[in-house]
């Protein structure tokens, strides 16, 4: 019997789900509200020199990569499994439409982060 | 074309007929906003790699009232995601036996939410320390 690839997608979904549940609210507040508006954080928190130095450290680079890719895979998997609920037939096309962008986003994130060097 | 046309009840809007399914759809719907946030970050990383001018454009966009309002929606959605993730965790994880007794669902949910609150607070304080 051919081994199912489902556990891979479920693992990525679970990992992204727990990561976003643990740090998601804080991340959104920091990057989307506090830093841009200057509320509780200095307005230059996410300035170019700061973020460049941040993204050039290997640990921060890895963290950013994991957050972006796992959030994408989590969302893609959940959306894929909701398609049936919305009356959309699930087949190879739907699978590609859901997981394809997640894979593309993962690759783009990796290329951009590596281009920033260490 | 077959002459037989059996009645098939429409499933349109099935989930709006039952509050339980409305909650279910909202929970699954958070996935769209998780993806949206990942895309915002992805653009930030790509802009950062493209240089200072490109990155500053992204940063200016983040400071617009539209972006702040959008992130407020994202924040509510993420908090809801956190809450719902740990609410269903007792059903999605293997049963834990302690001293022959099943670990109660409320304990699992409560522990998850507590850990999440501590981690979020710690992350924010860490960023605060680093930024100042």
Searching chain A, which residue's CA lies closest to the CA of residue B115?
Answer: A22
- Whether the per-residue pLDDT at A16 is higher than 70: the answer is yes
Q: What is the mean pLDDT of chain A?
A: 94
DSSP letter, residue A86: G
Look up the pTM and report it: 0.92
Searching chain A, which residue's CA lies closest to the CA of residue B118?
Answer: A22
Contacts of B123 (CB under 8 A, 6+ apart): A23, A26, A27, A30
Query: Which residues of chain B lie closer than 8 angstroms to A55, CB-CB?
Result: 45, 48
- Averaged over A76-98, what is the pLDDT? 91
Pick among B18, B20, B39, B49 to test the A interface (most A CBs inside 10 A): B49
Instruction: Please list the rounded mean pLDDT of every run of 10 residues in chain B (132 residues).
Output: 81 86 93 97 97 96 97 97 95 87 91 97 95 84
Look up the ipTM and state it.
0.95
Report in angstroms the alpha-carbon separations of A97 from A92, A94, A101, A102, B123.
Answer: 9, 5, 7, 9, 34
DSSP secondary structure letters along A5-73: SHHHHHHHHHHHHHHHHHHHHHHHIIIIIIHHHTSSS-TTTT-HHHHHHHHHSHHHHHHHHHHHHHHHH
**Is any Cβ of chain A less than 8 angstroms from the Cβ of B43?**
no
Query: Which residues of chain B lie closer than 8 angstroms to A11, CB-CB?
Result: none
Q: Do B124 and A52 touch (CB under 8 A)?
A: no
DSSP letter, residue B101: E
Residues 51-90 of B with CB under 8 A from A: 52, 55-56, 59, 62-63, 67-68, 70-72, 74-75, 78-79, 81-82, 85-86
Residue B98: in which H helix or E strand, if any? strand B97-98
What is the structure's pLDDT at B115? 97
**Is any Cβ of chain A less than 8 angstroms from the Cβ of B125?**
no
What is the structure's pLDDT at B1? 60
- Chain B nearest CA to A68, separation (Å): 5
Higher-scoring residue by pLDDT: A107, B131: A107
Banded pLDDT at A111 (limits 50, 70, 90) = very high
Cα separation of A117 and A57, whole Å?
9
**Lowest mean per-residue pLDDT among A21-25, A62-66, B2-6, B113-117:** B2-6
Cα separation of A46 and A23, whole Å?
18
- Averaged over A50-57, what is the pLDDT? 94
User: Which two tokens mark B71?
Assistant: 């992130």
User: Which two tokens mark B120?
Assistant: 């979020």
């Amino acid at each position: 019997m051919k081994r199912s690839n489902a556990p891979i997608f479920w693992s990525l979904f679970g990992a992204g789900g727990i990561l976003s549940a643990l740090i998601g609210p804080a991340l959104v507040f920091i990057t989307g509200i506090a830093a841009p508006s200057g509320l509780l954080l200095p307005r230059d928190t996410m300035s170019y020199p700061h973020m460049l130095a941040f993204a050039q450290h290997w640990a921060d680079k890895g963290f950013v990569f994991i957050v972006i890719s796992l959030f994408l895979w989590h969302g893609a998997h959940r959306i894929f499994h909701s398609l049936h609920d919305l009356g959309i037939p699930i087949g190879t096309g739907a699978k590609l439409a859901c997981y394809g962008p997640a894979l593309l986003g993962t690759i783009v994130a990796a290329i951009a982060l590596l281009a920033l060097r260490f | 074309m077959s002459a037989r046309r059996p009645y098939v009840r429409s499933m349109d809007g099935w989930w709006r007929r039952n509050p339980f399914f409305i909650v279910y759809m909202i929970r699954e719907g958070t996935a769209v906003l998780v993806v949206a946030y990942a895309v915002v970050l992805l653009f930030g990383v790509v802009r950062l790699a493209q240089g200072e001018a490109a990155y500053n454009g992204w940063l200016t966009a983040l400071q617009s009232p539209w972006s702040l309002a959008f992130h407020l929606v994202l924040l509510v959605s993420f908090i809801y995601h956190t809450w719902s993730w740990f609410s269903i965790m007792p059903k999605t994880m293997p049963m834990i036996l302690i001293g022959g007794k099943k670990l109660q669902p409320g304990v699992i949910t409560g522990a998850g939410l507590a850990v999440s609150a501590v981690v979020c607070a710690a992350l924010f304080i860490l960023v605060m320390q680093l930024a100042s």
